[in-house]
Amino acid sequence: MRTWFELEETDEFEAAKDLLIRRCVTWAEHHGYLVDGLLLSAAIDARQESRDGRLAYWDSASIRYFLLRYVPYKVTALREELDLAPEVLGTYLRYLDVTGLRDPRGATLAEAEEIISGARAEYAAALDDPTLRGVATFWAHTALGQGVDLTVPGAFERFRRDLDAGRVPYDEQVLDKIMQNRFLYGGIGEERAFPQPPVSLPAAAELTEAAARSQTVQRLITLAEWVGKDGRALTAAGNLRVADALEVSALLGTGEDRLRVRSAAELPQLNLLLAWARKLRLTRTSKGRLLRVAKAAPLLRDPESLWRRAFEVLPELGRVVTVPLAWRAEPILAEVFDEILPDVLNSMYGLGEMPVVRLEETVWLACQEYFDLDQEEGRLHDLWRREAARDLGRMFEVLSDLGAVELTRGPADPLFTSDLDHDDQPLPPDAVERLRTALAEPDVLQVRLTALGLRGVRERLLAEGRDAPLIGELATAPPSELLGVLAQHYPPQDAAVELRGWLAQPGQDIETLLQAVRDCPFRTRVAAMLRVLADTLPERRLLHDLRHDPTLGPAVWTQLIDAGEMQPGSLTEHENLLMGAENFLAVLELAGPEALVDQLRMMGGGDAYEFVEAILASGHPDIVGLRELRDLVAEPLRKPAHHPLRLVPTRPPGARGRRKKRKH
């Protein structure tokens, strides 16, 4: 049972969604919880269409987004059904929790229930506001208001013909507001982002010390102290007087105090620090004076918090980080700095040293896309490329002073030239040739994120709703949830580190993990969890030790045979039947009952029903799966004409949105 799918894996996702809905509805009805198939479908779709796509990850932001934005915007149903969404979401999150599917990096069940409870009043208000609907949902609700039964085939098409003929009244003001919102803000869809690799960070105390050593942090504190409570006079142009500017430059150690200038505006490092301090609300201007903000005192006493805030606001300082030229008032990189800087840092995340020239070419390619420079004169084109490269270098110097990156020189890793000949290489031929020449040099300027920079980028990724795993964050996760995350989001080497860290905690051992696998109600997830244990703890030969486990045996045999470590002929007739049950139950989860019925008919012909009967009598430990196999597969095989397999109600128009492309 996977809970993460690429956007292109449409069939796999739909099968998993049907399985989740089917199982959750059955479980909820058995335990007396309120449940609704349409709203469950909407909750799963909302997470699939999110930036990170983790179906089982729910935190405060995703819970509130689903209730306050997604349902009002996308889901069409009668009001009495929509009113159930908070309680149905609570049911779904309980099901994820009891089955071990929950992503432990999200809210706990208790936290989620509190968040849902706190959003109920806002949710009712959101449903009351028709301007929060999408265009399709507006028309679908208009149809419902006219008594149109949207579940009847062709009903909406007939409604649309009546609408085109002018026979349907609707609220033009509401529609105008919806269209205005769409024009100004777009829809509510999020672009899927690539998942990031797991990273490791040093102890918190070490990061705190590194922040206090940051040259930029020390300079910002010094600058605020120099301004003082009485402030400093400014010229009519709003700059420091030259004498004051040179004085504070000497205190800050920028080296600009030795320059001969006619205006403080000619000191770029000082101007950057002044702009940074204003953006951080350390200083402000009033009545011709530069003043220190009194409320900033706690931030100035906390270098780590000051570092975090300085890193956070840096993308907004592009016009003072870049340096204008005489022939161009605004550098090309300044106009897109707030997008380029995060993209560059994202591309460095989780990697070691990267050649700066490699980043120069990708940044220049992005600039051409932003500004459509393809038709410009060749000489001017080259000047702009050099300008962008110069300002990128300036950006890295600023990040280095902050302590977010480290700049070194040395031979480039061959990795950065190995893909230059690939057919899918996005760089143009001239850029490839420049890179070949530059990367062949023995003394290449290289850049990497420091631990502080890595943490800063990760915190921004998390704030954007992206998946950015941290080694050690699962150290106390429930065993089933731990294995589920490792199976889907961690490469084997990182999974091994995380698992060993989990096992080092008191009271957490291999047997606890194995019991979690035994308790898992999904055969495909059992297989994935066993694979994680086998791959990360190879010295224990776990699969061979579990060959005779009464619960895990069939899943173990399947993996050992697939790996060539066990011969099919070594199984008894009954064991072969159990392994057949294991495989067919996996197909039921992965493809759904209709696909399994078709497969069994092709394999068994007229004997298909008898074959399934034998599987049902095998004694396989998956009670839930066998019940579904009996009800959804065996019965249709026995009476195909009288048991149509419509498992999930068809959603009315407006219940789902289009998928988005993903980006870095």
Residue 646 has pLDDT above 80, yes or no: no
How far lies 154's CA from each of 139, 142, 646, in Å? 15, 16, 19
Query: Is 468 a domain residue?
Result: no
Token pair 């009891």 in the structure block, residue? 98
Across all residues in the chain, what is the average pLDDT? 90
- For residues 340 and 444, membership in a common domain is answered with yes
- For residues 311 and 327, membership in a common domain is answered with no
- For residues 360 and 456, membership in a common domain is answered with yes
pLDDT band at 648 (very low <50, low <70, confident <90, very high): very low
Query: Is 155 a domain residue?
Result: no
**Residue 20 belongs to domain spanning:** 10-134
Q: What angle do CA 476, 513, 101 make, to 5 degrees?
A: 70
Q: Is 537 helix (H, G, I), strand (E, B) or coil?
A: coil
Nearest residue to 33 (alpha-carbon basis) of 112, 110, 91, 94? 91
Q: How many domains, in total, are found in the chain?
A: 5
- For residues 437 and 348, membership in a common domain is answered with yes
The reported pTM is 0.87
Helix (H) or strand (E) holding 233: strand 232-233
Residue 641 has pLDDT above 60, yes or no: no
CB 447 within 8 A of CB 349: no
Sheet holding 405-410, edge to edge: 354-355, 444-449, 405-410
β 444-449/405-410 pair status: antiparallel
Give the per-residue pLDDT at 662.
37
- For residues 399 and 448, membership in a common domain is answered with yes
Residues 6+ apart with CB under 8 A from 576: 568
Query: Is 187 a domain residue?
Result: no
pLDDT tens string 27-52: 999 999 999 999 999 999 999 999 99
- DSSP per residue, 238-295: SPBPHHHHHHHHHHHT-SGGGS--SSGGG-HHHHHHHHHHHHTTSEEEETTEEEE-GG
Give the per-residue pLDDT at 658.
34
Sign of the CA dihedral with 192 first, then 198, 203, and 208 last? negative
Give the per-residue pLDDT at 537.
87
- For residues 433 and 379, membership in a common domain is answered with yes
Query: Is 433 a domain residue?
Result: yes
- For residues 459 and 335, membership in a common domain is answered with yes
How many angstroms separate the CA atoms of 463 and 261, rounded? 42
Minimum mean pLDDT among 137-146, 210-219, 378-387, 501-510: which range? 378-387
- For residues 365 and 282, membership in a common domain is answered with no
Give the per-residue pLDDT at 624.
94
- With residues binned 3-state (H G I as helix, E B as strand, rest as coil), the percentages for the chain, rounded to 5, are 65, 5, 30
Query: Is 656 a domain residue?
Result: no
Query: Is 182 a domain residue?
Result: no
Residue 169 has pLDDT above 80, yes or no: yes
Q: Across the chain, which distance is largest between two alpha carbons, in Å?
A: 98
Buried-state track 427-459, b at ≥16 Cβ within 10 A, e below 16:
beeebbebbeebbeeeebbbbebbbbbbbbbbe
Please give the average per-residue pLDDT across 425-431, as a whole number.
83
Please give the average per-residue pLDDT across 64-84, as a whole number.
95
Please give the average per-residue pLDDT across 190-218, as a whole number.
95
β 283-286/354-355 pair status: unpaired
Minimum mean pLDDT among 6-10, 92-96, 415-419, 634-638: which range? 415-419
How many angstroms separate the CA atoms of 240 and 232, rounded? 8
Give the per-residue pLDDT at 374.
57
